[in-house]
Amino acid sequence: MRHVPFRRRQLQNAFLIVLAASLFLTGCQRNKNAAAPAATGAGLPVGVLTVQTESVTLTQELPGRLSAYRIAEVRARISGIVHKRLFEEGADVKEGDVLFEIDPAPYQAALDSARATLARAKAGVAAASAQAERFEALVANNAISKQNYDDAVAAHLAAKADVAAAEAAVRTAEINLGYTRVTSPITGRIGRAEVTEGAYVQQGAATLLAVVQQLDPLYVDLTQSAEQVLDLKDALAEGRLQRAGADAAKLTLLLPNGTPYRHSGALQFSDVSVNQATSSVTLRGTVPNPDLNLLPGMFIRARLEEGTNPNAILLPQSVVTRNARGEPVAMLVGADNKVEVRPLQIARAVGNRWLVTGGVAPGDRVITDNFQKIRPGAPVTPLPATAAAAEVAAASTR
């Protein structure tokens, strides 16, 4: 009876040894199966994008404000009492339309007086001319002295000068009388009236009556840093950029809500000096405004075409990551189908892609997926991006 427990323990130990050996052999078999792809050289399928160059038109968004194409401040050119206002505030007016009427009575009286003075001066010319003619015959017969004749000729000339002065006074009085009807100097939209009927306006103070602004087209005043201007000039000079052709100065306006304005503008000129406070250069363009939807003073952004890069390399933003130092990098498939990490030089974003200026060359294969499963130096099986995505989807269903 004492040997029975001992034999039972021996059977239990033997069973445990056999179970452990079985588990060990199963694990070895699994490790062998897992190592089989590596032994045969197969790798994880990844999608690749072959780097190619393409022509791209580079643009830049600049902030700016709109301003009226022409602004006319309507001011009083004579002194007097405003009798009438002949326009509606906020209405469109044409060049020559009468806006205000100033009391014309004193200026009409001044014109009448000037005309009377002119008539008297003309009468004096007639008398002086007749006297000079008579004295000319008398001096020839020595009936009068030469001095008397000279005085008559001088009086005739003075009378002619009086006529010229009187004619000038008449013209001045006519001009002043015309100023009593204040007209619009340009075609545009008029704002609020600065004076009302009964107000006294002064010529010396040049009283402001109203402001007329031409709203079609409008000026677009943009600001660009001086450094960006120099970089653009260098790129064009070195041939890295080519001008976009006849419409190289085209502007596309972005409204405050972010939508593009349906009418394209044109760049007119760049300022010749740099703003010392902001180190920026002012660019001025024009934009059509036939519907008068844009108003002076509005803040906008304008997309300016800088030029065309005929050999640009563009990569999707999804394939570019950052390393521990914050540098942009991309994973590539090397010549031996192993993963390689390549640092990049990026100039700017173009839509949803990066403009790459260094780090990759045409023909390089950039990995587009499976970033979480691959490591530098790991073997991979490169496939076109769409084929790789299909194979990964099929593997997930098995």
Which tens digits make up the pLDDT trace of 272-283? 778 788 778 888
Burial of 223 (C-beta count, 10 Å sphere; 0-12/13-18/19+): middle
Q: Which of 333, 319, 342 is nearest to 381 (CA)?
A: 333
- Domain covering 44-56+312-397 assigned CATH 3.30.1180.20 in the classification: no
pTM over 0.85: no
Three-state SS at 35: helix
How far is 11 from 9, CA to CA, in rounded Å?
5
How far is 314 from 362, CA to CA, in rounded Å?
11
What is the rounded average pLDDT for all residues in the chain? 83
Structure tokens at 147: 């001095």
Find all residues with CB under 8 Å of 23, minimum gap 6, and list them.
Answer: none
Q: Which class in CATH covers the domain with range 104-179?
A: mainly alpha
For β-strands 380-384 and 44-50, DSSP reports them as parallel
Which tens digits make up the pLDDT trace of 15-68? 555 455 555 545 545 444 444 444 344 688 999 999 999 998 888 888 889 999
- The residues spanned by each domain of the chain are 44-56+312-397, 59-68+215-309, 78-102+180-206, 104-179
Listed ranges 77-86, 130-139, 140-149; the one with the highest mean pLDDT: 77-86
How far is 380 from 393, CA to CA, in rounded Å?
17
Q: Which CATH number fits domain 78-102+180-206: 2.60.40.420, 3.40.50.300, 2.40.50.100, 3.40.50.720?
A: 2.40.50.100
- Domain covering 59-68+215-309 assigned CATH 2.40.30.170 in the classification: yes
How far is 158 from 106, CA to CA, in rounded Å?
30
CB 328 within 8 A of CB 316: no
